[in-house]
Amino acid sequence: MKRPIAFLLMLAMIFALTACGTNTAPTPGPDADKPSDEKIVIRLGFSTEPDSHYGKGSAEFERLVEEYTNGKVDVQLFPSATLGNERDMIEGISLGTLEMCLSSTGPMPNFSKEFQVFDLPFIITDKDRAYEVMDGETGQQILASLEPLNIKGLGFWENGFRHISNSKKEIVHPTDMAGIKLRTMENPIHMATFQLLGAMPTPMAFSELFTALQQGTIDGQENPLVIFDTNKFSEAQDYLSLTGHVYSPSIMMISKSTFESYPQDVQDAILRAEKEARTWERNFCTQMDEELVDKIKAAGVKVTEVDKAEWQKACEPIYAQYEDEINPEYIKALTGK
């Protein structure tokens, strides 16, 4: 806990200095009646690379916001965790020291337990059903749980179906996970799932992952194909199993007090651009999932199809373990059962 706080203090200081120096960074409250020719700067941070799904989708969001506000808003992208890891960025948004970030749902239960439903293995197997639920009432209810923390969840973007890679051996069956030292997100249900499968889950921030794989302090990791590709995990991993054990959405969020300090037309432009860029990003992810298996194979990685029903069965006990903490209506909505 100490490190993120130190980081946030540093971020707050940088923010204060920048605000004094350039007079362009937005501050909540008094800015509501700022002169209309003054630029609003929105910093948007994420942990993945510029050419990843987050990078490309955020660039589309930037383009649309700037177009819809006739350049009144300047969206600036900060990829590769340059503004901190996901948890740090979400804390920054809550404090109002950062305007926006795009984060996977992995760290969200640290802020609201309502997001835990997405961590259940195989809760989402059909993306189209998931989009409907996430864009509908259930999704809005889950996002609204962030508002008391000064976080406005704009929408569910896509991180994607997560697949397991490692440097030790081909993984076909759940029992093959025994003894694999696997990096997980800092997420209790993910950790419990891999423990159940006999692996050694090692929670770690995403920015530390590549080095840990390269140095061999861990054997493997799990992430969507687009991250495996854009972070060049093929340089450190020989085996990839298409388990799709978790579909991970990502939340596009904005500091609520900052958002509410913007003029109405800017707020409207942000909402419109987010909705359109969200669809764009989801389509990009679908296309990447289709294209990347061949590219990853060509990079020398052995890609293995698995029997998903077998994996789903092996993960089932996790539901009983967490059922008291999760709204059954959410499970029903996502599974359709």
Q: Which is nearer to ligand EAX, 227 or 266 (CB)?
A: 227
Query: Which of 58, 69, 97, 104 is the binder for ligand EAX (CB under 6 A)?
Result: 104
C-alpha closest to that of 11 among 38, 40, 34, 45: 45
Hey, which residues between 14 and 73 contact ligand EAX (CB under 6 A)? 47-48
Q: Which part of the chain contacts ligand EAX (CB under 6 A), choosing from 99-107, 281-289, 295-303, 315-323?
A: 99-107
b/e per residue, 238-264, with b = 16+ CB within 10 A? Answer: ebbbbbbbbbbbbbbbbbbbbbebbbe
- Nearest approach in angstroms of CB 208 to ligand EAX is 10
Closest CB to ligand EAX among 26 and 45?
Answer: 45
Residue nearest to ligand EAX (CB): 104
| Dist CA 119 CA 334 (whole Å) | 12
Applying the rule CB under 6 A, the residues between 111 and 130 that interact with ligand EAX are none
Binding to ligand EAX (CB under 6 A) within 241-260 occurs at 250
Q: How far apart (Å, rounded) are the C-alpha atoms in residues 134 and 142? A: 9
**236 contacts 214 by C-beta, under 8 angstroms:** yes
In this chain, which stretch among 98-106, 144-152, 169-177, 319-327 interacts with ligand EAX, using CB under 6 A? Answer: 98-106
Query: Which parts of 276-335 interact with ligand EAX (CB under 6 A)?
Result: none
Q: For the CB of residue 83, give the shortest distance to ligand EAX in the complex, in Å.
A: 13
Q: Which is nearer to ligand EAX, 243 or 261 (CB)?
A: 243
Token pair in block for residue 257: 């007090």
| Strands (E) located in the chain | 40-45, 73-78, 100-104, 151-166, 181-184, 200-203, 220-223, 239-255, 302-305
Contacts (CB under 6 A) with ligand EAX, residues 157-196: 159, 185
Distance CA 99, CA 94 (A): 9
Nearer to ligand EAX, 73 or 171 (CB): 171
Among the residue ranges 101-109, 129-137, 191-199, 271-279, the one whose residues contact ligand EAX (CB under 6 A): 101-109
The distance in angstroms from the start CA to the end CA of the chain is 39
Nearer to ligand EAX among residue 185 and residue 196 (C-beta): 185
What is the smallest separation between the CB atom of 72 and ligand EAX, expressed in angstroms?
Answer: 29
Residues 74-93 that bind ligand EAX (CB under 6 A): 86
Longest dimension (CA), the chain: 63
Residue 67, both tokens? 């177009």
We find the least distance from the C-beta atom of residue 223 to ligand EAX, in angstroms, to be 5
Residues 6+ apart with CB under 8 A from 63: none
Phi and psi, residue 168, nearest 5°: -100, -50
Q: Residues interacting with ligand EAX, by CB under 6 A?
A: 47-48, 86, 103-104, 106, 159, 185, 206, 223, 227, 250
